[in-house]
A and B are shown apart, each in its own frame.
Chain A
Amino acid sequence: MTALSIQDGLSAQLMQRMTDADPEIRRIALMDLADSEDEDLIVPLLIEALQDVDANVRAEAAAALEGYESEAVVTALIGVLTDSDPQVGANAALSLGELKDASLGGVLLNALDASSGYAKAAIFRALKELKVAGSLEPALAAIADADADVRQAAVGVLGYLKDPRALASLSKVATQDADSEVRRIAVGALGFAPALAVVFPALADAMNDESWQVREEAVMTLGKLRAENAVPQLIAAMQDSYWQVRIKAARSLGRLRSRAALPALCEALVHPVSNLRKEAAVALGEVGDPAALPALEKALEDPDPDVRKLAKLAMTQIAR
């Protein structure tokens, strides 16, 4: 019996509370257990507690297993992703998401086929940061999943893998998925493309997306890829109905040091939203064209002190 040797290491009093009839006492005992040091003793007890009759105890155990990385822990956590109590599943998903050991990727991959919905999305989220090569195929297959949550997680995996073989599928998702959050993540993932030409059509398309978050992401990604030929579209994005998109367009135009954007950026210096005025001032500094000086001088009178400061900074940048 392992129970005897476990009792040797932990205080008999704690062991007694672990099996108390009152679920709240069992739960507090679990918290105390998680504070003790000996991993070999704690982990089996926490795994056992995942099967407790009380949902609060199970949820506590699922949260306490965070940071313990072994096959047994991962298997047990995957098992409770579909728990009848949503809090247990949510805590298990959080603990799985903290995994750092890529050698456990195999356990996660093996569990994908049998899972669906919330559990499948949680497994993909756990796989994301592990970046195991074997997750490419299942993630590519899952971008056709009926559940938007699964598609979001799968696209996230592809974005982290940075495997060029996924670019064609990601371009398709970025423009055609029914869920705007899935499209947004895909647009962001396209930023790892080694050559702009492959993804440019999809990004240009995403700039006209009906969701402003997708447009914002597309504008950022184009700046990240230093897409010189996207300048006309980025200048057009300076007229977007959402200032959030305009801010990112200004940032990208600054990165590209686009002289053609001067009129649009100078115009943004008098926009009612001060965050946009700030970004426009920074971008004008990056472009470095003295033609922007009169507009920046006016911005020295701006009611927002940050705008005044950044306008001054931009002016010294241009003078240099």
Chain B
Amino acid sequence: MTYALNRVTVPVTVDEEKCIAAKGCTVCVDVCPLDILAIDLAKGTAYMKFDECWYCMPCEKDCPTGAVHVDIPYLLR
């Protein structure tokens, strides 16, 4: 049996087509109370750097282009 050491899915996903971080936007990074989002400077898009999400949702709500999506676990919904 293999162990899943690296999780490949994170709750906060960013649509790279829509993300405008390259144009100077940092809204999701700024609103996150846990400071777990970051801008990937190479790609010019936001991404989830640390998986400590509280599912509080401002990143999804405030994103000016609707690029951020938070997957809320079934049991929290």
A interface, CB within 8 angstroms of B: 17, 22, 24-25, 27-29, 31-32, 56, 60
Contacts and interface: CB of A to CB of B under 8 A. Distances in A.
Interface of B: 20, 23-25, 27, 64-65
A17 B64 contact: no
Contacts of A31: 25, 27, 64
A52 to B, nearest CB: 14
Contact of B64 (A22, A32, A56): A56
A24 B23 contact: yes
Nearest to B25: A28
Contacts of A28: 20, 23-25, 64
A289 to B, nearest CB: 45
22 contacts: A17-B24, A22-B23, A24-B20, A24-B23, A24-B25, A24-B64, A24-B65, A25-B23, A25-B24, A27-B64, A28-B20, A28-B23, A28-B24, A28-B25, A28-B64, A29-B24, A31-B25, A31-B27, A31-B64, A32-B24, A56-B64, A60-B64
Contacts of A24: 20, 23, 25, 64-65
Contacts of A17: 24
A60 B20 CA distance: 15
A151 B23 CA distance: 44
Nearest to A26: B23
Q: Which of B25, B27, B65 has the most CB of A within 10 A?
A: B25
A17 B25 CA distance: 12
A25 B24 CA distance: 7
A289 B23 CA distance: 70
Nearest to B65: A24
A29 B20 CA distance: 12
Nearest to B27: A31
A25 B21 CA distance: 10
A28 to B, nearest CB: 5
B14 to A, nearest CB: 16
